[in-house]
Every structure is written in C-alpha cells, then in structure tokens.
Amino acid sequence: MSEKKLHEDQKYIDGLLQNNSFIIEAIYDKFVPKVINYIKQNSGDSDQAQDIIQDTLITIYNQASEKKLELTCPFDAYFFLLCKRKWLNELKKSSNKEVTIKEELLYKGEDAHELAFETDVFGEKEALFTEMFNKLGTACKDLLTATFKIKSMEEVAESLGVTYAYARKKKSLCIGKLTELVQESPKFNLLNK
Amino acid sequence: MEEQDYILFEDYLSEDLSETEKNAFETRFKTDSKFKESFNTYKELSSFLEHKFENEATSTAFQSNLKTISNAYFEKQETFKKVIQFKPWQYAMAASVILLIGITLFNKLSNPVYGEYANYDSISLTVRGSQDGLLKTAENAFNKKDFAKAEVAFKELLLTDEKNTELQFYRGVTNIELNNFAMADWLLNGLKEGNSVYKNKATWYLALSKLKQKQYDASLKILKTIPEDADDYKAAQKLISKLD
Amino acid sequence: MIITDTHTHLYSDAFDADRNDMIHRAINQGVSRFFIPAIDSTYTESMLQLEQDFPEHVFLMAGLHPTHVKENYTEELNHVEEMLAKRKFYAVGEIGIDLYWDTSTLEIQKKAFKYQIQLAKKYKLPIVIHCREAFNEIFEILETEKDDDLFGVFHCFTGDLEQAHQAISYNMKLGIGGVATFKNGKIDQFLNQIELKHIVLETDSPYLAPAPYRGKRNESTYIIKVLEKLSHIYNVSLEDLASITTQNSKEVFSI
C-alpha cells in the first residue's frame, strides 16, 4: 500500500477526520452535485441523496479513524463510487424492478475502485458488528462498554464490583460470544468471500 | 471454539503470553484454519469496539456537525430553485435587531442591577500592628477601585490572619467587583453563617452577588433572610419588591 | 497548601509495595489529611495499622461497602457496630447502594444502608455515600432519614445538576475526584453552578486516576490534577481552592 503515492486529495480525508467545517463544506460544494445528479437520474430524489451522502461520509470517517485511510486516487472518483454503490444497494433493497442504470465514466484507474470496494466492505462490517453487539445480553454489553471506555481493567472491575480476574475472563468470553454471533450471520459469509 | 480459546486470544492480544505460549499460538494459527478465522474475527471486533467507545464523543461531534452542514447545503439548494426577487432574510434580520433592542431596553427598565444597589463608602481597615504596610495597600487599592490589586493584598493578609472577618468581608466584595463569583460567594456565605458583626452586611452583599450573576431567585431567597434590625434592611426590601 | 483527600483506600494491596513512599510523596505535595473509607471486616486490621503508622494524617471511617453486602451482612454490621462502640471514628462509610452489577442484593443493601445511617446518627457522625446506578433508591432512603443529624458526603459524585441539588438538600457535600477531569465525565459541565461550600476533594485511590494518569494506579498526590481542573472551572486559585475544600472537610468530619 505504501508503494503508491498519497494523492493530494488526502486533505479531504484528513479534514473529515478533524471535523473541519471548511473542508466538509468544500466537499459538499465540489463533489456532492455529481452524486445528487446521478441519484436523481436513477429513480431517487433530493432527500434520498442527502441521506446517502451523509452515510457515505460517516463510513469514510469511521474507516479513516479506526484503520487509517490512504487516498491514492482523486477524492472525486472514490467518493462518487462509494455513493453509487450505496445507492444501488438501496435500490436492490427497496424494489424488485429492473432499474436502468445510467453509467458515468470518470476515472479509469484501478485505485478508485479498489479503495471504494474496501471502504464499502468496511462499512458493511461496521453495520454487522453493531447489529450483533446489540444482540448481546445486558451484562456483556455493559462490561464491554465499561472496558473500552475506562481502559483500566482494575477500574472496570471496581466499578462493576467484581474481581480483576473475573472481569478479564468475562471480557474474553463476551468478545468470544460476539465473534460467534458474527460468524454465524449469513451476511458475514458474503463479506468474507 | 472453546471458552479457553477466547481467553487465549485476549491474552495474545494483550501480550500476556510467555515466549513458548506465543510460539504455540502462532503455530496453531498457521495450521488450524478455524482457529485462524476465529482469531481474526475476534481481533477485528476488539478493534471495532475500541474505536466505537473510545471515540464516541468525537464521532458524535463529527456526525452532528456533518448533519448541520448537510442540512444547510440542501436548504440552500432549495432556495436557489426559486427566482429570488427580494431577500426575506434581510427583513428577518432587521426585525430581530429591533426586537433585540426592544428587549434590552425593556430589561434595563425592569431588572434591577448590581450597580444601583452596591453602595459602599471608602474603607478604613482596622490596624492591628503587624501588617500595617499590606493593610494600607489593600485599603488604598480598594478605595481607588483597583480591585485586582486589592485582591492580591487581601489574599496575603488572610494567609496569616485567617479568621479576620473584616478582611474576609472586603475580600468578598472585591471578588464581586472582579466577577470571581465562586470565591465571593464562598467568603460571604461563610460570614452569613457565622456570628460576626459582618453577618448581615455579608448577607446583603451575597444577595447582590447573586443579582449581578442574574440569579434572581437565589438573590430573592437570600434577601428575605435579612432581619429588620440590619443596616441594609430597607434597601433589601426595596430590592425585594423589584424582584418579586 | 493543606489539601485534604477525603476518600482514599490507602490500605489497598495496590500500595503494598510502596505504601510509605506513596504517602510521604503526598504529604510533601501538601496532601496531608487522608480520610479512609472502610469496605468490610477483612480490612479492619490493615486500616488500624495505617492509623498507627501515620497518626497525624490518617482518619478512619467504619462501615460496610454496598458491594460487600452478602448473606453474612448481619455479622458484618455487628462488626461495624462493635468498632464504633470501641473507639473513635470520623465517619460511617463507605455505605450506600450499588446496582451496577448485582441487583439481587438490593433489599439487603437497603437494610444495611438504613442500619448504618442509624449508627451514624447515634454517634453524631457524617455518612459517606457510595452510589452507583442507584440515585433514586438512595434518595428515597435519605428522604425518610432526613433530620438535623443527617449529613455527610456523596463520594465520587457522578450525577447531573438536579441530582447534585438533591444531594445537597440532604446536607451532603459532593466528593469530587478524577471523574471531573475526564473528557466525557459530564460533571465538569455544570460544576460551576454548585457553590464551593458544597465541595470536598477526593481521589478514591487506587481507582479512577485523573487525567492524564487515567488507567494507571491512582494515588493521593494526583489530587493536584483535580484541584487544577476545579481551579479552571471556578476561576479560583489553587491555594484558595485547597484552603476552601480543606475547610469544608473540617466542617463535615469535625477534624
């Protein structure tokens, strides 16, 4: 990954991560019109476009924040592809009709597609993990929330009124349970292919 | 996977395994594909959870900001659709400015203000011999309304004369003038609950401090505790009638 | 500066390796008064030893911690009562209700809490309250116990402004520690609306170390970080804050 050069548009990713309003507004001014156009030409409206764009930016933020995101292509192409994929998923979910997809060729490089694909998978995984986390029992949810918020297992143990050893063991078992839930989910197999 | 395996995953990730245990783990990882898969998922989940909770606040801040910008952008898009002949927002601006002036004027007329009620003469601090110089400094600064300087002097004086209620009182008033309300209120409260000659005066000034902080209810409550024989009783009643 | 740590478990085994050094470190920094909460009878001996080693600085409490209220709680309460009858203590604590993990012991926790409040009133001592996920239950009990003899400290206060006012209405001071320095601790948002006379400082060592030591073993010296945060919130100097909170602690514990 580090053999490829970082594109100057990395500044948009960094701007999102820093919650920099100027950069976010710039993204809207420069790159959003194309997406709105595409969605409107493909059975969507302004409100749906707004949601897709917001969700995409949040996914990009999450990936950049959790795993580092290194842009090696223009932000334009990457962002557009992501929004497009999200919109097509929406269409698949809501209608069984055949929809005419009006394609727009922007950037022929491999990078944009590869990065967009990675981010897309990341987004789907986040959604799956969140869904499975919410299926855990209250005890596990509370323990994991405490563990990752407080970080010191001793404090967590004290705050829950249990021994350090017990808290640690429970942490492993709760994440273990979560692992099983995720692995058993059909969505997981699709993502890992 | 067994319970034991998940405990092993956790130990491996927290680097709590010995060299031998670590090697055994890595060997099993290479040869047992189910073990490898489970571990990878476990690891991904740990990272996911870490990010989810550690960065919750910044994430939420980002999402909230994004929503605001998104809404602003899309609303602008709606407005540009219409042919703009006049800018209604300009009228709205003018109206709100006028309203604001109106409200401020109204406020000025109706809410009593600290400055109207805080009437103290020049002070002359009781001399006790040991700290003449510093006392004079405090006195002069206070009378000249150089409250920052007075505060420094009072603070030092009180270090060696902790229980001096006169100094405590004037330091309290000084801090009201400096808008250091936490300190002022603490000093004046202490005097209010004590039995010194400054008890009633401190109560009056505590009420004035609350007034300056625009805590009208708190001020009213304190004013009502001032007894009839207090110097400031009449002034207190006047203020009560304005606040009630 | 004289700083008072109104809640610190100096007898904890987390300090076994360097207890004396740790305490001397704190004293050198001005933290010279330590109020020690009890947990249960298994710690009594080590608490008494602590007092013997540092008689000028250590002030003991007697009590049964809500997370240690189990089937044998009546025996434990007897022990508390015996200790209070035998010699001087400065408070009954830490007592209260903890529903974070084990809600099955709620009834006996309530009984233990009420009983110990009676003991405190008998000896005219303040109570030091431990409250987790149990504000309503604790306020309910305090409401029935409210009178001139009920007073004390709500240790490690983590409620909202309204709950703070309610706690104060029962003559409780708020124990403020490391949580005030955490990014999403919440209390730093409204603390400036609570008058200084209601605040005492604490560390709850070895737990809940303030930023930037969060996650590490807490110790009484770190109370300086809490002082710094409050200094910023209230716009009052460190020395004044130390003096004010120490005076408040003298008011509650009568020493």
Query: Residue B84 has what pLDDT?
Result: 46
C195 with B180: Cβ contact below 8 A: no
pLDDT tens digits for range C15-53: 999 999 999 999 999 999 999 999 999 999 999 999 999
Query: Residue A104 has what pLDDT?
Result: 45
Who among A46, A54, A180 is closest to B67 (CB)?
Answer: A54
Q: How many angstroms away from the CA of A173 is the closest CA of chain B?
A: 6
pLDDT tens digits for range C107-135: 999 999 999 999 999 999 999 999 998 99
C-interface mutation test, from A140, A141, A152, most C Cβ less than 10 A away: A152
Query: Residue B108 has what pLDDT?
Result: 54
C86 touches chain B (CB under 8 A): no
A154 touches chain C (CB under 8 A): yes
A151 touches chain C (CB under 8 A): yes
A184 touches chain B (CB under 8 A): no
Quickly state the pLDDT bin for B85 (edges 50, 70, 90): very low
Q: Is the peptide bond before C206 cis (omega within 30 degrees of 0)?
A: yes
A32 with B50: Cβ contact below 8 A: no
Who among C183, C192, C239 is closest to B182 (CB)?
Answer: C192
Quickly state the pLDDT bin for B161 (edges 50, 70, 90): confident
Q: Which chain C residues are within 8 Å of B167, Cβ to Cβ?
A: none
Per-residue pLDDT of chain A (193 residues; tens, 9 = 90+): 445 678 888 899 998 998 888 888 889 989 999 999 889 888 888 889 999 999 999 999 999 988 888 888 889 889 999 999 888 888 877 765 554 544 444 445 567 888 888 888 888 888 899 999 988 888 888 889 888 888 788 888 888 788 888 888 999 999 999 999 999 888 887 776 5
Residue B15 burial (10 A CB sphere; 0-12, 13-18, 19+): exposed
Tell me the CATH number for domain B117-243: 1.25.40.10
Q: How many angstroms away from the CA of C156 is the closest CA of chain A?
A: 11
Q: A with B: how many residue pairs have Cβ under 8 Å apart? A: 102
Q: Which residue of B has its CA nearest to A127?
A: B48
Q: How many angstroms away from the CA of C165 is the closest CA of chain B?
A: 13
Who among B155, B180, B186 is closest to C244 (CB)?
Answer: B186
Structural domain boundaries, residue C75: 3-253
Domain boundaries, chain B: 3-54, 117-243
Q: CB-side exposure of B171: number of CA atoms within 13 Å?
A: 26
Q: How many angstroms away from the CA of C192 is the closest CA of chain B?
A: 8
A154 with C14: Cβ contact below 8 A: yes
Which of A63-72, B13-22, B77-86 is the least confident region? Answer: B77-86
Query: Residue B105 has what pLDDT?
Result: 65
In terms of phi and psi (left: phi > 0; alpha: psi -120 to 50; beta: otherwise), the region of C31 is: beta
A169 with B61: Cβ contact below 8 A: no
A62, two tokens: 């999450």
Q: CB-side exposure of C140: number of CA atoms within 13 Å?
A: 8
Which of B113-127, C164-178, C210-224, C235-249 is the least confident region? Answer: B113-127
Q: How many angstroms away from the CA of B88 is the closest CA of chain C?
A: 38
List Cβ neighbours of A23 (8 Å cut-off, separation of 6 or more).
Answer: A11, A12, A14, A15, A16
Query: Residue B81 has what pLDDT?
Result: 61
Quickly state the pLDDT bin for B88 (edges 50, 70, 90): low
Tell me the CATH number for domain A10-111: 1.10.1740
Who among C196, C235, C239 is closest to B186 (CB)?
Answer: C196
A162 touches chain C (CB under 8 A): yes
Cα separation, C246 vs C240, in Å, equals 10
A161 touches chain C (CB under 8 A): yes
Q: How many angstroms away from the CA of A128 is the closest CA of chain C?
A: 27
Cα separation, C186 vs C180, in Å, equals 7
The mean pLDDT value for C129-157 works out to 95
pLDDT at B132 over 90: no
Cα separation, B52 vs B63, in Å, equals 13
Number of domains in chain C: 1
Q: Which residue of C has its CA nearest to B185?
A: C195
Let me know: does B125 contact B157? Beta carbons within 8 Å: no
Let me know: does B154 contact B166? Beta carbons within 8 Å: no
Quickly state the pLDDT bin for B109 (edges 50, 70, 90): low
CATH (domain of C28):
3.20.20.140
3-state SS, residue C97: strand
Cα separation, C205 vs C4, in Å, equals 13
Query: Residue A1 has what pLDDT?
Result: 40
B114, two tokens: 């600290």
C196 with B182: Cβ contact below 8 A: yes
C52 touches chain B (CB under 8 A): no
Q: Which chain A residues are within 8 Å of B53, Cβ to Cβ?
A: 144-145, 148-149
A154 with C207: Cβ contact below 8 A: yes
Cα separation, C173 vs C166, in Å, equals 11
- Which has the higher per-residue pLDDT, B129 or A170? A170
C196 touches chain B (CB under 8 A): yes
A53 touches chain B (CB under 8 A): yes
Subunits with 3+ C-beta pairs closer than 8 A to C: A, B
The mean pLDDT value for B40-54 works out to 89
One-letter amino acid at A159 equals: S
- Which has the higher per-residue pLDDT, B40 or A113? B40
> Treating both helix axes as pointing N-terminal to C-terminal, what angle do A164-184 and B33-54 enclose, rounded to 10 degrees?
110
Domain boundaries, chain A: 10-111, 136-191
- Which has the higher per-residue pLDDT, C255 or B57? C255
C152 touches chain A (CB under 8 A): no
Percent of chain C clearing pLDDT 90 (strictly above): 89
Whether ipTM > 0.95 holds is: no
Give how far the C-alpha of residue A32 lies from the chain's centroid of Cα atoms, to the nearest Å: 18
